[in-house]
């Protein structure tokens, strides 16, 4: 063999080795060991080389995260000092384009009633409190029977739903969306007749405790057979949930609309409301100039203006897609109904000022950590009678010697109280660990409460005729979205969002 041929062989061999251990992210082998992915002969470890990004789930809008000044944007006219401005960063997430409507919530009730036939209390516990419309010196009695059930109000926001009910709806919505994703992928057949513990629940499915009506499972690269979908496949979406206070406020302000250009980080104008300017009227010179931008109470006894020239055209909540959306494309982030968020309420914002520096990324008060209950082999124990994986809250004995947290329940963390003394609920305050933050003004509020930084609270077990909710979802992966990748299993081609005044 000639010297040139020997060098050529060595060069070719080196190229093969470099290719097997190189940094090509699309290669079918591990960058760090050269072991092959998705190959039964090499153990069948699976890596999704064709992952297209997080699915754009129904009714959600991507909110690209960033830094902003959280807190009051207007004068603190109540002198409560409960929204002291401070700079924080919010990770990218998804937010409902609209508040949850009456018809959407009735679908949830209908499913619950049909599916949990052995547990009718689940349905009864989910019913909104329609008696929130009743009042001593007002004739609002017709709304008790009509607002939630009559088709005239189908597209109006559901009210009378407490925080606990809103959370349960969010969990249910996660399961229905993921079940539909598996059906659209051709993995499951529809199973609308599932009852009690046989209904689809995402965690139960991922734990192997729900089989369903299988159409065609995925190929198992380790055995050559079939398997269920795993979380590592990236097919299922994260949980629907209530937004945190920081997320809600960030999404409401939508400061991206005030950037001087896309090439720098300069925001030209601050906002008091989800729109520019210091009034609630449309200011651009066109046919809509002077129109009201939100549904709120203009003054004493003035909920919608005068006949023949109604300003917001709504004496109670209006349809969820009324008025102009903000720069994120979100409707009614001011007015219409106030909205539940995830946070526990404390007067001095979600952190004390001296501790804010350590909690300025996704600030949140309300963590109560929980975990799945596992058997001796480390697998989740048998699901409960409603088809859900059993969980438990972590207590201080479970934490161990950790540096990042010392308790499983940190709702009271650094809230200014003496450690041994809890809030004396009903004696000196109405604030306790069941007090949840509500954001955004409503149809029954004055303009001040429409500022995204304004905050109030209510017991998590109580609803109100001016209080609704919308859902959020964590964004996994890149902060700016899927760009040109796929990932939209639900969006109809050619669908355009209508942006209109009521």
Residue 470's alpha-carbon distances to 4, 57, 342, in angstroms, are: 71, 14, 11
The residue with greater pLDDT, 376 or 85, is: 376
Least confident of 59-73, 205-219, 266-280: 266-280
Check pLDDT > 80 for residue 4. no
The predicted-structure confidence for 421-470, as pLDDT tens digits, reads as follows 555 666 667 788 999 999 999 999 999 999 999 999 999 999 999 999 99
Q: Helix, strand or coil for residue 389? A: coil
| Neighbouring-strand partners of residue 437 | 457
CB atoms within 10 A of CB 270: 11
Q: What's the chain's length in residues?
A: 502
Could you read off the pLDDT of 102-137 as tens digits, one per residue? 999 999 999 999 999 999 999 999 999 999 999 999
| Structure confidence at residue 72 (pLDDT) | 77
Tens digits of residue pLDDT in 130-160:
999 999 999 999 999 999 999 999 999 999 9
CB atoms within 10 A of CB 412: 17
Question: Structurally, what CATH architecture does the domain formed by 60-474 represent?
Answer: Alpha-Beta Complex (3.90)
C-alpha torsion sign, points 302, 308, 313, 315: positive
- Calpha distance 69→87 (Å, rounded): 4
Q: Let me know: does 76 contact 61? Beta carbons within 8 Å.
A: no
pTM beyond 0.75? yes
In the block, tokens 């949840």 appear at 436
* Mean pLDDT on 292-306: 91
**pLDDT given at position 77:** 65
Rounded Cα distance between 30 and 36, Å, is: 6
How does the average pLDDT of the chain come out, rounded? Answer: 85
Write down the domain spans for the chain: 60-474
What pLDDT score does 420 carry? Answer: 47
CA distance 265 to 201: 43
Query: How many other CB atoms sit within 10 Å of the CB of residue 375?
Result: 9
Residue 84: the pLDDT is: 80
- The dihedral built from the CA positions of residue 56, 113, 101 and 162, taken in this order, carries a sign that is negative
Q: Which residues lie below 8 Å from residue 336, measured CB to CB, with a gap of 6+?
A: 99, 157, 294, 295, 314, 317, 318, 320, 322, 323, 442, 443, 468
Q: In the prediction, which pLDDT does 95 show?
A: 97
Position 418 pLDDT exceeds 70? no
What was the pLDDT predicted at 242? 98
């Amino acid at each position: 063999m000639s010297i040139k041929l020997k060098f050529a062989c060595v060069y070719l061999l080196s190229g093969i080795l470099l290719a097997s251990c190189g940094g090509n992210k699309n290669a079918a082998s591990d960058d760090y060991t050269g072991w092959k992915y998705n190959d039964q002969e090499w153990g069948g470890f699976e890596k999704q080389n064709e992952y297209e990004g997080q699915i754009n789930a129904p009714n959600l809008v991507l909110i690209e995260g960033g830094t902003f000044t959280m807190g009051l944007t207007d004068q603190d006219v109540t002198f409560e000092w409960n929204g002291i401005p401070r700079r924080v960063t919010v990770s990218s997430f998804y937010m409902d384009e609209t508040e949850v409507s009456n018809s959407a919530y009735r679908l949830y009730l209908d499913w619950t009633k049909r599916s949990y036939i052995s547990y009718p209390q689940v349905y009864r516990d989910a019913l909104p409190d329609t008696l929130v419309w009743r009042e001593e010196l007002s004739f609002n009695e017709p709304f008790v029977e009509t607002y939630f059930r009559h088709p005239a109000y189908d597209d109006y926001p559901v009210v009378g739903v407490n925080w606990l009910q809103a959370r349960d709806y969010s969990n249910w919505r996660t399961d229905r969306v993921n079940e539909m994703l598996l059906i659209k992928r051709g993995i499951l057949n529809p199973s609308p007749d599932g009852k009690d513990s046989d209904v689809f629940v995402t965690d139960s499915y991922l734990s192997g405790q729900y089989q369903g009506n299988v159409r065609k499972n995925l190929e198992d690269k380790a055995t050559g057979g079939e398997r269920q979908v795993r979380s590592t496949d990236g097919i299922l979406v994260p949980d629907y949930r209530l937004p945190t206070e920081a997320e809600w406020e960030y999404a409401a302000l939508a400061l991206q609309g005030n950037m001087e250009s896309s090439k720098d980080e300069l925001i030209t104008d601050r906002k008091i409301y989800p729109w520019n300017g210091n009034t609630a009227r449309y200011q651009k010179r066109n046919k809509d100039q002077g129109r009201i931008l939100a549904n709120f109470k203009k003054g004493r006894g003035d909920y919608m203006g005068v006949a023949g020239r109604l300003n917001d055209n709504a004496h109670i909540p209006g349809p969820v897609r009324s008025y102009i959306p903000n720069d994120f494309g979100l409707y009614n982030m001011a007015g219409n109904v106030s909205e539940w968020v995830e946070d526990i309420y404390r007067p001095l914002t979600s952190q004390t000022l001296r501790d804010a520096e350590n909690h300025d990324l996704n600030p949140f008060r309300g963590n109560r950590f929980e975990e799945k209950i596992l058997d001796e082999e480390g697998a989740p124990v048998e699901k409960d009678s409603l088809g859900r994986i059993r969980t438990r809250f972590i207590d201080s004995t479970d934490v161990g010697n950790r540096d990042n947290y010392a308790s499983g329940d940190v709702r009271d963390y650094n809230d200014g109280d003496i450690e041994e003394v809890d809030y004396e609920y009903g004696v000196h305050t109405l604030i306790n660990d069941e007090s949840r933050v509500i954001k955004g003004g409503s149809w029954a509020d004055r303009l001040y409460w429409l500022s995204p930084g304004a905050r109030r609270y209510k017991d998590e077990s109580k609803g109100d005729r001016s209080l609704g909710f919308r859902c959020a979802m964590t964004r996994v992966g890149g902060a700016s979205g899927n760009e040109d990748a796929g990932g939209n299993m639900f969006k109809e081609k050619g669908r355009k969002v209508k942006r209109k005044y009521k």
